[in-house]
Amino acid sequence: MTGRLTIAGLGPGDAALVTPEVSAALREATDVLGYAPYVARVPAREGLRLHPSDNRMEVQRAGEALKLASEGHSVVIVSSGDPGVFAMAAAVFEALEAAPQWQDVAIRVLPGVTAMLAAAARAGAPLGHDFCAINLSDNLKPWAAIERRLRLAAEADFAIALYNPRSAGRPDGFGRALDILRDAGCGERIVIFAHAVTTPKERIETLSLKEARPEMADMATLVIIGNSATRKVGRWVYAPRRAS
Amino acid sequence: MTGRLTIAGLGPGDAALVTPEVSAALREATDVLGYAPYVARVPAREGLRLHPSDNRMEVQRAGEALKLASEGHSVVIVSSGDPGVFAMAAAVFEALEAAPQWQDVAIRVLPGVTAMLAAAARAGAPLGHDFCAINLSDNLKPWAAIERRLRLAAEADFAIALYNPRSAGRPDGFGRALDILRDAGCGERIVIFAHAVTTPKERIETLSLKEARPEMADMATLVIIGNSATRKVGRWVYAPRRAS
Residues of A in contact with B129 (CB under 8 A): 86, 90, 135, 141
Which residues 118-147 on chain A approach chain B with CB closer than 8 angstroms? 118, 120-122, 124-135, 140-142, 145
| Whether residue A157 has pLDDT greater than 60 | yes
Which residues 6-65 on chain A approach chain B with CB closer than 8 angstroms? 11, 14-21, 24, 58
Q: How confident is the model at residue A1 (pLDDT cuts 50, 70, 90)?
A: low
Chain A residue with the nearest C-alpha to that of B243: A141
Q: How confident is the model at residue A214 (pLDDT cuts 50, 70, 90)?
A: very high
How many angstroms from the chain centroid is the CA of residue B136? 11
A227-236 average pLDDT score: 97
Q: How confident is the model at residue B13 (pLDDT cuts 50, 70, 90)?
A: very high
Residues of B in contact with A84 (CB under 8 A): 117, 120-121, 125-128
Of B111, B114, B152, nearest to A155 by CB-CB distance is: B152
E-strand ranges in chain A read 4-9, 31-35, 49-53, 74-79, 106-110, 124-125, 131-135, 159-163, 190-195, 203-208, 221-225, 231-233, 236-238
Under an 8 A CB cutoff, do B19 and A24 touch?
no
Which residues 161-220 on chain A approach chain B with CB closer than 8 angstroms? none
User: Is-contact A51 A73, C-beta < 8 A?
Assistant: no
A47: burial class by Cβ within 10 Å (0-12, 13-18, 19+)?
A: exposed
Question: What ipTM was predicted for this assembly?
Answer: 0.97
Q: How confident is the model at residue B244 (pLDDT cuts 50, 70, 90)?
A: low
Report, in angstroms and rounded to the nearest whole number, the Rg of chain A calculated over CA atoms: 19
| Whether residue B1 has pLDDT greater than 60 | no
| Whether residue B100 has pLDDT greater than 90 | no
Instruction: Give chain B's mean pLDDT.
Output: 96
Give the minimum alpha-carbon distance from B49 to chain A in angstroms, rounded to a whole number.
Answer: 25
Coil, strand or helix at A76: strand
A125-154 average pLDDT score: 96
A239 touches chain B (CB under 8 A): yes
Under an 8 A CB cutoff, do B132 and A129 touch?
no
Coil, strand or helix at B140: coil
**pLDDT tens digit string along B139-159?**
888 999 999 999 999 999 999
B210-238 average pLDDT score: 97
Q: How far apart are CA A170 and CA A137, in angstroms?
A: 8
B198 to B26, B81, B122, B201, B204: CA distances (angstroms): 21, 11, 9, 8, 10
Under an 8 A CB cutoff, do B241 and A94 touch?
yes
What percentage of chain B exceeds 90 in pLDDT? 91
| Whether residue A243 has pLDDT greater than 80 | no
Coil, strand or helix at A211: helix
Instruction: Give chain A's mean pLDDT.
Output: 96
A85 touches chain B (CB under 8 A): yes
SS in 3 state form for A101-146? HHCCCEEEEECCCCHHHHHHHHHEECCCCCEEEEECCCCCCCHHHH
pLDDT at residue B57, as a whole number? 87
pLDDT at residue A100, as a whole number? 87
Strands B236-238 and B124-125: parallel
Q: Got the DSSP string for B67-124?
A: HHHHTT-EEEEEESB-TTSSSHHHHHHHHHHH-GGGTTSEEEEE----HHHHHHHHHE
Under an 8 A CB cutoff, do A125 and B83 touch?
yes
A164-192 average pLDDT score: 96
pLDDT at residue A117, as a whole number? 98
